Structure formats: C-alpha cells, structure tokens
C-alpha cells in the first residue's frame, strides 16, 4: 500500500503542470489561487506555472465562446420564449452587447464577471463577437487576471509559512470559508441590484 501511495505522489509530481492545465480549464480562479499558494511553498516554478494557467484559462474561454456560438444560439432563438426571452429582448441585448462587447469582455475577464463570467462568454458566442477580437481580449485579460490571483495565493502562502503550527489549522479553514462566503455574498448582492 505504501508503494502505491508513493507511486501516486511521484506521478502527481511529474504531471503537476499538466494537472494544473486541466484543472484551470474546469475551475480556473480557484486553481490559480491554490497555485500561487503552492508556489510560495516551493511547489512550482513560476514561469511554467504561469504559462500553463494562462493557457488553461484561455482554452476554457474558447470553449465557452464555442458553446455559445454553436451550441445555444439556435436553442435560445427557438425556445427562449418559454422562459421570457422574446425576440425583442434578444434584439435589445444583442444591440447593447454589440455596442459595448469590448468593455463588457474586459471587465468580465478582470473580475471573473462577479460570478457571471461564463454567461458573458457564452453570450459573446451567441451574438457572434468577432472571434479574433474575442481571443485578443480574453488572452490579455487572462494574463492580468492570472497574475492577480497568483499574487493572492502567494500572499496567503507567505502568511501560512510564518504563523504558528496551531494557527495553521485555523488559517487553513478560515481563509477558504471567508473566500467562499465573499463570493456568495457578492453574487447575491449583484443579483439583487440587477433585479
């Protein structure tokens, strides 16, 4: 059994950048913060980690755009009226999005859309934002957002290394809970403002 766990740890260590890439495709922001934390503890080299995280996030953004462009556009236009999405509403949203898509995409990438990022990226595909322009905006935004989230993780990693062993348990529980509640509160607040 000990050999089994040793082999798994060796595989994880040898595949850590690939695992970061896959993880970032599915849950980018959390993986980026955790990566910054692990980097502060000596678990990664900065440049390969940063490139892998940016690429994983970029692939995810392309996926969401493609899903909007090829997977939902027809469905929304055909069945949207069942959930109150009428052609008139779609026309207004499309007009607004086409006028301001650059600003909307930049703000979304730099804030992870305050919980609405995936929706905005799908809408960009639905309303056929020019793909080249979309790629440039999300890639540049991804470079900045990745640095920001890595810095947060790095900061908490540095704090973690200097606190006492007893406080490390409290720290390891409190910080993720505060982060989760902060996201939940922000989403709830924004939804109330939108409504």
pLDDT at 192: 65
Where residue 58 falls among pLDDT bands split at 50, 70, 90?
Answer: very high
If one compares 7 and 132, the residue with the highest pLDDT of the two is 132
pLDDT at 112: 67
Instruction: Summarize pLDDT for 115-130 with one digit per residue, the tens.
Output: 567 778 888 888 888 9
SS3 content of the chain, % helix, strand, coil (to 5): 90, 0, 10
What are the phi and psi torsion angles at 59 (to 5°)? -60, -40
104 and 192 share one domain: no
pLDDT at 115: 57
Residues 105/134, Cβ–Cβ less than 8 Å = yes
- The residue among 111, 134, 114 whose CA lies nearest residue 123 is 134
If one compares 82 and 136, the residue with the highest pLDDT of the two is 136
- Residue 77 sits in which domain range? 2-162
Q: Tokens 């692990």, residue?
A: 38
Where residue 135 falls among pLDDT bands split at 50, 70, 90?
Answer: very high
122 and 147 share one domain: yes
Q: What percent of the chain has pLDDT over 90?
A: 24
147 and 170 share one domain: no
102 and 177 share one domain: no
15 and 105 share one domain: yes
The count of other CB atoms within 10 Å of the CB of residue 31 is: 23
If one compares 190 and 86, the residue with the highest pLDDT of the two is 86
Residues 135/69, Cβ–Cβ less than 8 Å = no
34 and 72 share one domain: yes
54 and 112 share one domain: yes
The domain tally of the chain equals 2
What number is the average pLDDT over the span 10-20? 86
154 and 175 share one domain: no
Question: Is residue 164 classed as helix, strand or coil in its secondary structure?
Answer: coil
DSSP string for residues in 94-109:
HHHHHHHHHHHHHHHH
99 and 170 share one domain: no
Q: Which 8-state DSSP code applies to residue 42?
A: T
pLDDT at 146: 92
Give the contacts of 4 (CB within 8 A, at least 6 positions apart). none
| Cα–Cα dist 47/45, whole Å | 6
The answer on pLDDT for 114 being more than 60 is: no
121 and 195 share one domain: no
Average pLDDT score over the chain: 82
* Alpha-carbon separation of residue 178 from 60, 63, 188 (angstroms): 26, 30, 15
| Cα–Cα dist 161/37, whole Å | 10
14 and 108 share one domain: yes
| Cα–Cα dist 107/114, whole Å | 10
Between helices 131-162 and 165-194, what is the axis angle to 10°? 150
pLDDT at 168: 73
The count of other CB atoms within 10 Å of the CB of residue 138 is: 24
135 and 181 share one domain: no
What number is the average pLDDT over the span 85-92? 74
What number is the average pLDDT over the span 158-186? 75
């Amino acid at each position: 059994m000990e050999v089994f766990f040793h082999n798994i740890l060796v595989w994880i260590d040898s595949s850590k950048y690939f695992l970061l890439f896959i993880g970032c495709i599915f849950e980018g922001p959390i993986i980026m913060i955790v990566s910054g934390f692990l980097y502060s503890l000596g678990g990664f080299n900065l440049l390969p980690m940063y490139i892998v995280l940016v690429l994983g996030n970029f692939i995810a953004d392309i996926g969401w755009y493609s899903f909007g462009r090829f997977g939902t556009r027809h469905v929304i236009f055909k069945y949207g009226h069942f959930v109150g999405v009428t052609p008139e509403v779609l026309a207004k949203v499309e007009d607004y999005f086409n006028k301001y898509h650059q600003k909307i995409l930049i703000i979304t990438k730099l804030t992870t859309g305050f919980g609405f990022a995936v929706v905005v990226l799908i809408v960009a595909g639905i309303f056929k934002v020019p793909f080249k322009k979309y790629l440039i905006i999300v890639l540049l935004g991804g470079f900045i957002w990745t640095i920001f989230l890595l810095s947060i993780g790095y900061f908490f990693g540095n704090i973690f290394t200097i606190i006492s062993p007893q406080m490390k348990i409290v720290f390891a529980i409190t910080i993720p809970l505060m982060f989760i509640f902060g996201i939940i509160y922000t989403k709830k607040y924004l939804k109330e403002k939108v409504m």
